[in-house]
Structure 1
Amino acid sequence: MAVSIRLSRGGAKKRPYYRIVVADARSPRDGSFIEKIGTYNPLLGKDDEKRVILDTERAKHWLSNGAQPTDRVARFFDAAGVKERSTRSNPKKGEPGEKAKERAEERAAKAAAAEAAANPPAEETAEA
């Protein structure tokens, strides 16, 4: 059975509250879970100690048994010192898409044409 450590959403509409749970990877997000090992309240400030509450002993136990944390939970584990999270590199993330590149090229061409029309090249006068 594939086991994952992930967030399970609770709380009211526009007032999220998450439980950090160990669950079967095939079960739904808010469905049944094996064990609750912590909570996450994103409405609290980043410096608040109650924002993320985590049972580190149980987290280490489940990691040693092969449970895979999601990206967000892996960040929590890294901050708590439970498991080192490898940094990711996506150099293409900030690069615009193909259509945006085409629009930028068209805009540059129009600007160059408008500038050329506004400032005709100075003709040299021939002295005879």
Structure 2
Amino acid sequence: MLTIRLQRGGRTHMPIYTIVAADSRKPRDGRFSEKLGQYNPHLSEGEVLNVKADRIKELLATGATISDTVKSLLKRNKVTLN
């Protein structure tokens, strides 16, 4: 099953997360099928999240699931998926 989730990158104590569409059976930082955005918790509030909202909507319509963390990030940054 395809899952939209975070993949950790960056360096020690300075993480940068990539929002990816990956098979739920793959490891967190393993192979993914598509890069959908980026989350940097160290930037100011308006610059924290870059995301392809239209592509996420398409994937959700085809049956992909979204992780709770990504869902709360999108909600906090007022990205609508409806």
TM-score normalised according to structure 2 size: 0.90
TM-score normalised according to structure 1 size: 0.59
Structure 1 unaligned segments of length 5 or more: list them.
Answer: 84-128
Matched, 1:62 2:59: yes
Q: Secondary structure at the match of 1:76?
A: helix
Aligned length: 80
Question: Per-residue deviation at 1:3?
Answer: 0.8
Larger relative contact order (CA 8 Å, sep ≥ 6): 2
Matched, 1:76 2:78: no
- 71-80 vs 15-24, which deviates more? 71-80
User: Aligned letter for 1:50?
Assistant: E
C-alpha separation in 1, matches of 2:10 and 2:3:
22
C-alpha separation in 2, matches of 1:22 and 1:77:
15
Spell out, residue by residue over 1:47-76, the C-alpha distance to the aligned partner (whole angstroms, 9 max, x if none).
Answer: 2x2201110110001110111111111113
Higher helix content, 1 or 2: 1
Aligned to 1:40: 39
Compute the RMSD of aligned alpha carbons.
1.1
